[in-house]
Chain A
Amino acid sequence: MDYLRKILLRSAVFSVCLCATVSAAEPFHDCPTEAFLVQSGVAKLYGVQLATGHYQLLSSDMGTSSKLNAIAFNFHDNYLYAWSKEFGTLVKIGTDYQASALETSNNPDATFYVGDISLEDNIYYAYRPGSSYGLYAYNLDESEEDYLRAVKIVSGDDLSLNIFDFAFHPLNHYAYSVDRNGVLHRIDVELGIDTALNNVGESGTFGAVYFDVDGHLYISRNSDGYIFRVDVNDATPLAEFYAYGPSSSNNDGARCAMAPIVDVEISNIDFGDAPDSYFSSLENNGARHGLFSSTLYLGEGVDSESDSFIHPLSDDETGIDDDDGVGFVSGIEVGEDSIVEVSAVGSGFLNAWIDWDQNGVFDTDEKIISGQSLREGNNVITYSVPISAKVGDTWSRFRYSSTELIEASGGVSDGEVEDYFVTVTETGVSTVFYPSENSWSTLAFEDNWPSIGDYDFNDLVIHYRTAISSKNGAVRRIRVQGQVAAVGASYHNGFAIHLPGILRSQIDESRIQFTVNRADQAESPLESGPSEAILIAFLDAWDYVTPGEDCKYHRTESGCGSSIQMDFSITVPFVNAIPLAQMPTTPFDPFMFATPGKPHNPALGNNPGRSLEIHLKNHAPTSAFNLDYLGRRDDRSNGIQEKYFLSENGMPWAIHVANKWRYPKEYMDVIYAYPHFQSFISSAGGQDGDWYLDGRAQLQNTFSQ
């Protein structure tokens, strides 16, 4: 784990607390989030981002030819204080990083190695074990009578601790430390009394200890630089590995305990976005990488954040998708090898995991790639899928850094983490996706059938994709996924998928997996009653989406944007695999229907419910449909000719578009958003097959967030 970095002999640009133009001996910025670390026989000062362990030199010349110890941050005046071996007294340090000696008095004949400043009182407490020494208090308030005069609290015999630093809790006024054996100590500095709590599970010389505003204690071990986090409020506080920091035989640390661990206004960390059970968030000690260097990452780039954006609210969906460095070349089949291609910038090490048992955790035995050295550019890597791997969707994590062996959680000072949602199949299963594994097509409806509407094709807009899994020419299961992209209608509508030619009885209903907004649904989506296989995704879109403020509809009017509010996934296994020749082709037969109990087009009487369906052109309705509706108003369906849901001119009430379509804004006729729609139709698809692409649109006439 030797990660010692070369020392950069320059002034660090290090958070907003540093101002290059300030005069000497100016105080630091109010309560900086970074920790200060002093090292070496001739004192050098470092700044450490505890969350990632990233550190950089702030000053190699602190105005002393010897060590500084017992460094402390004074919350009352925003200066650092420390004990100078050379001057034999307290020194005060401002943003010029120069140690200015203070005139202390009544000092013991000793160099202090342990010290911190109380948050409650402006008093520096210094400690050294041994009968000749002890715990001392130095008042730093100039107005006080005992200003800078050492007052002995207790002797080093009565308070005898094998510790190398302590730090004040932000709220409870105790000082805490962890001794060489790993025992956590709580010290009442006013009375000079120690309470030994429990063993935190890690031992060593913890030369620098810090608190954050949430009461987490961070202890840094000299030998390897490991930073551990201890929640002292726990009944049995234990040390959890937190980040890889700098190692040194001579460490001392200070931090403003009132600062959060990360400055939310400064985003210089990359987090994963898998669900937090996988340890993604800062609070949960999630996988995170410092972004102070831009030369080590995967793919095209890496974006920074101050905390994780947990899927499905990942910033990959709404902002920059920086999960782009890993390509899953092959499928992931149980018991077989699989290939990924990893695009790396900079030379480093890759560690990766896949949650094979889908228990929400990257277990130790789920590491698929361990400390693999990558070269700059493309790297083809093979890994094995265990025979015990569960079939289905699960999460994976890929971490790239200059540290060779790392775990699935915790901070490192550089590199990038990318989390991917992947699918594991049985051996020999092939999957055909539409439009692709991770993209969307669009279904867009005019819901006023059998009357012609305004042709804005946004009364109901569904993002839609399918996956068909088969082996040896027979389909084992299908998956349909969707999102409600827009509801530009007052009518209440549901959405379903019919599988033409497939009977309900052919589906293994008890093994259907149905989720809405990532939550498992107890009720089966398979419609009871009809013998056909019909999957009901939702009965009423308005149950799931809301109009924007001062808006009438959902995501169709200008200024009425919002995030997607409803998504669904339906995985349908078959009792017996169905020959490919008998499977309907994608997109199958998706349709919208009137929500039962709600009014709809008056031409259809009161509350038509399931008897009203609107399908893609020439897709026959299901047995629930009222065939008497055909031919009413503007509809020119003819069952004998197998023509359905078309107008006199042959225009449909539903269209299917092969991408995540930018549909027209409310009331906008589609030809003014997509001028080439007409030529596509008029040429029967011979021309302008790409009419629906963004590049061929009048984008100002489409809905945008």
Chain B
Amino acid sequence: MKYVERINLCLAACILSACGGGGGGGGGDSISQPPVVAQVAVASEPSPVTVAVDEPGATASATQEIQVPDGFTLAANYTVSLDVDLESVYSQRVSLSVCTDFSTVDSLVSINYDSCLLKASTNNGIFSSDLEVGNALDSLILAIGIFGESSAVDYRVWERVGSEPYVFSVR
């Protein structure tokens, strides 16, 4: 669901690894778009493309031509280590939900809770877990459910900066 609520938005610290660059194999030329004619939907049954492997960096006309950097597995995700220590903030049980689909506009937060990667709780404010995040996602939100006579929800946002290892630290 999506909802809107006023909060004091707090960006979580994102611990950066030493800059070592990511990727970098396979040549430096930017990849141009495939020729327009090749983007038209094929109405009949074409034969599989059998063109020989082209030189690295050039636009392939078939997947078969693409040279995959050694060791690259086309992994769909990257890992984010959630590290929560709110012992000094909350003395009661709180719930922790990390979600990917959210928006924050002028401190108004809207979260789609169907997009959560984690549902957890802690009695002492301490919790940690590794999360697998899809490559296209660059930010996460932690919704902290505060139980009590008047329940409330607090938030922390994490944004991907730099390269792995990624840590979502919450203090």
Do A and B bind?
yes
| Nearest A-chain residue to B118, judged by Cβ | A432
In the assembled complex, which residues on chain B have CB atoms less than 8 Å from the CB atom of A430?
Answer: 96, 118-121, 127, 129
Known: A436-B100, A658-B136. A671 touches B63 (CB 8 A): yes
CB-CB contacts below 8 Å: B1-53 with A: 1-5, 21-27, 30-31, 33-34, 38-42, 45-46, 48-49, 53
B72 touches A681 (CB 8 A): yes
Instruction: Compute how far the CA of A616 lies from the CA of B76 in the bound complex, rounded to whole angstroms.
Output: 11
CB-CB contacts below 8 Å: A563-614 with B: 585-587
Instruction: Compute how far the CA of A611 lies from the CA of B1 in the bound complex, rounded to whole angstroms.
Output: 45
Instruction: Compute how far the CA of A628 lies from the CA of B153 in the bound complex, rounded to whole angstroms.
Output: 57
Report if A343 contacts B (CB, 8 A).
yes
Report if A131 contacts B (CB, 8 A).
no
Instruction: Compute how far the CA of A685 lies from the CA of B22 in the bound complex, rounded to whole angstroms.
Output: 8
Instruction: Give the contacting residue for A337; candidates B31, B48, B56, B147; CB below 8 A.
Output: B147
Q: Give chain B's interface secondary structure class.
A: loop
Could you tell me the distance in whole angstroms from the C-beta of A296 to the nearest C-beta in chain B? 17
Known: A439-B114, A656-B75, A659-B134. A651 touches B24 (CB 8 A): no
A436 touches B119 (CB 8 A): no
Report if B152 contacts A (CB, 8 A).
yes
- 1/0 per position for B66-86, CB-CB distance to A under 8 A? 111111111111010000000
A686 touches B22 (CB 8 A): yes
In the assembled complex, which residues on chain B have CB atoms less than 8 Å from the CB atom of A432?
Answer: 117-118, 129-132
A331 touches B1 (CB 8 A): no
A339 touches B153 (CB 8 A): yes
Report if A411 contacts B (CB, 8 A).
no
Instruction: Compute how far the CA of A650 lies from the CA of B132 in the bound complex, rounded to whole angstroms.
Output: 24
| Nearest B-chain residue to A467, judged by Cβ | B119
Instruction: Compute how far the CA of A354 lies from the CA of B108 in the bound complex, rounded to whole angstroms.
Output: 30
Instruction: Compute how far the CA of A330 lies from the CA of B121 in the bound complex, rounded to whole angstroms.
Output: 8
Instruction: Compute how far the CA of A652 lies from the CA of B134 in the bound complex, rounded to whole angstroms.
Output: 19
Instruction: Compute how far the CA of A571 lies from the CA of B131 in the bound complex, rounded to whole angstroms.
Output: 20
- 1/0 per position for B129-170, CB-CB distance to A under 8 A? 111101111000001010100011100000000000000000
| Nearest B-chain residue to A438, judged by Cβ | B114
In the assembled complex, which residues on chain A have CB atoms less than 8 Å from the CB atom of B24?
Answer: 683-684, 686
Instruction: Give the contacting residue for B120; candidates A331, A651, A700; CB below 8 A.
Output: A331
B63 touches A651 (CB 8 A): yes
Known: A327-B111, A329-B153, A690-B135. A651 touches B1 (CB 8 A): no
| Nearest B-chain residue to A377, judged by Cβ | B4
B147 touches A671 (CB 8 A): no
B64 touches A341 (CB 8 A): no
- 1/0 per position for A636-669, CB-CB distance to B under 8 A? 0000000000110111100111110000011111
Report if A333 contacts B (CB, 8 A).
yes
Instruction: Give the contacting residue for B1; candidates A326, A330, A669, A676; CB below 8 A.
Output: A326
Report if A618 contacts B (CB, 8 A).
yes
Instruction: Compute how far the CA of A156 lies from the CA of B37 in the bound complex, rounded to whole angstroms.
Output: 89
B68 touches A681 (CB 8 A): yes
B1 touches A667 (CB 8 A): no
Report if A1 contacts B (CB, 8 A).
no
Could you tell me the distance in whole angstroms from the C-beta of A479 to the nearest C-beta in chain B? 13
Known: A339-B151, A378-B3, A650-B69. A329 touches B113 (CB 8 A): yes
In the assembled complex, which residues on chain A have CB atoms less than 8 Å from the CB atom of B74?
Answer: 617, 652, 655-656, 680-681, 685
B39 touches A701 (CB 8 A): yes
Report if B59 contacts A (CB, 8 A).
yes
In the assembled complex, which residues on chain B have CB atoms less than 8 Å from the CB atom of A337?
Answer: 93, 147, 151
| Nearest A-chain residue to B34, judged by Cβ | A675
Known: A432-B118, A684-B24. A658 touches B147 (CB 8 A): no
Report if B103 contacts A (CB, 8 A).
no
- Compute the total of residue contacts between A and B using a CB distance below 8 Å: 252
Could you tell me the distance in whole angstroms from the C-beta of B142 to the nearest C-beta in chain A? 11
Report if A275 contacts B (CB, 8 A).
no
Instruction: Give the contacting residue for A433; candidates B56, B57, B116; CB below 8 A.
Output: B116
Could you tell me the distance in whole angstroms from the C-beta of B106 to the nearest C-beta in chain A? 15
Instruction: Compute how far the CA of A669 lies from the CA of B51 in the bound complex, rounded to whole angstroms.
Output: 13
A682 touches B67 (CB 8 A): yes
B63 touches A677 (CB 8 A): yes
Instruction: Compute how far the CA of A494 lies from the CA of B118 in the bound complex, rounded to whole angstroms.
Output: 30
- A382, A665, A677: which has the most chain B beta carbons within 10 Å? A382
A672 touches B38 (CB 8 A): yes
Report if B104 contacts A (CB, 8 A).
no
In the assembled complex, which residues on chain B have CB atoms less than 8 Å from the CB atom of A670?
Answer: 63
Could you tell me the distance in whole angstroms from the C-beta of B49 to the nearest C-beta in chain A? 6
Known: A343-B4, A378-B5, A693-B136. A441 touches B117 (CB 8 A): no
B38 touches A651 (CB 8 A): no
Instruction: Compute how far the CA of A675 lies from the CA of B32 in the bound complex, rounded to whole angstroms.
Output: 9
A331 touches B121 (CB 8 A): yes
In the assembled complex, which residues on chain B have CB atoms less than 8 Å from the CB atom of A678?
Answer: 31, 59-60, 63, 66
Known: A326-B1, A690-B136. A682 touches B120 (CB 8 A): no
Known: A436-B117, A669-B63. A651 touches B68 (CB 8 A): yes
Could you tell me the distance in whole angstroms from the C-beta of A305 to the nearest C-beta in chain B? 20
B76 touches A658 (CB 8 A): yes
Instruction: Give the contacting residue for A437; candidates B56, B114, B121, B143; CB below 8 A.
Output: B114
B97 touches A649 (CB 8 A): no
Report if A435 contacts B (CB, 8 A).
yes
In the assembled complex, which residues on chain A have CB atoms less than 8 Å from the CB atom of B130?
Answer: 432, 585
Report if A320 contacts B (CB, 8 A).
no
In the assembled complex, which residues on chain A have CB atoms less than 8 Å from the CB atom of B73?
Answer: 616-618, 652
Instruction: Compute how far the CA of A528 lies from the CA of B72 in the bound complex, rounded to whole angstroms.
Output: 34
A299 touches B66 (CB 8 A): no
Instruction: Compute how far the CA of A300 lies from the CA of B1 in the bound complex, rounded to whole angstroms.
Output: 9
Instruction: Give the contacting residue for A701; candidates B41, B60, B75; CB below 8 A.
Output: B41
- 1/0 per position for B91-128, CB-CB distance to A under 8 A? 00101110111000000000111111111110100010
In the assembled complex, which residues on chain A have CB atoms less than 8 Å from the CB atom of B59?
Answer: 678
| Nearest B-chain residue to A682, judged by Cβ | B26
Instruction: Compute how far the CA of A439 lies from the CA of B53 in the bound complex, rounded to whole angstroms.
Output: 37
| Nearest A-chain residue to B93, judged by Cβ | A336
Report if A155 contacts B (CB, 8 A).
no
- A438, A656, A677, A686: which has the most chain B beta carbons within 10 Å? A686
Instruction: Compute how far the CA of A330 lies from the CA of B153 in the bound complex, rounded to whole angstroms.
Output: 10
Instruction: Give the contacting residue for A683; candidates B26, B34, B143; CB below 8 A.
Output: B26
In the assembled complex, which residues on chain B have CB atoms less than 8 Å from the CB atom of A701?
Answer: 39, 41-42
Report if A455 contacts B (CB, 8 A).
yes
CB-CB contacts below 8 Å: A423-475 with B: 428, 430-439, 441, 452-455
B95 touches A329 (CB 8 A): yes
Report if A679 contacts B (CB, 8 A).
yes
Interface residues, chain B, with chain A CB atoms under 8 Å away: 1-5, 21-27, 30-31, 33-34, 38-42, 45-46, 48-49, 53, 56-57, 59-60, 62-77, 79, 93, 95-97, 99-101, 111-121, 123, 127, 129-132, 134-137, 143, 145, 147, 151-153
Can you report 18 A-B residue pairs in the complex whose CB atoms are below 8 A from each other? A327-B3, A331-B97, A337-B93, A337-B147, A381-B151, A430-B118, A436-B114, A437-B115, A437-B117, A585-B132, A649-B65, A650-B68, A681-B66, A683-B24, A683-B25, A684-B72, A690-B136, A698-B39
Interface residues, chain A, with chain B CB atoms under 8 Å away: 299-300, 324-331, 333, 336-339, 341-343, 377-378, 380-382, 428, 430-439, 441, 452-455, 558, 585-587, 616-618, 646-647, 649-652, 655-659, 665-672, 675-687, 689-690, 692-693, 698, 700-701
Q: Known pairs A428-B121, A683-B23; list 13 more (Cβ under 8 Å).
A: A329-B143, A342-B3, A432-B129, A435-B132, A439-B115, A617-B74, A618-B73, A652-B73, A655-B76, A675-B33, A678-B59, A679-B31, A700-B41
A-B complex: 5 closest residue pairs judged by Cβ atoms: A686-B23, A658-B134, A650-B68, A330-B95, A430-B120
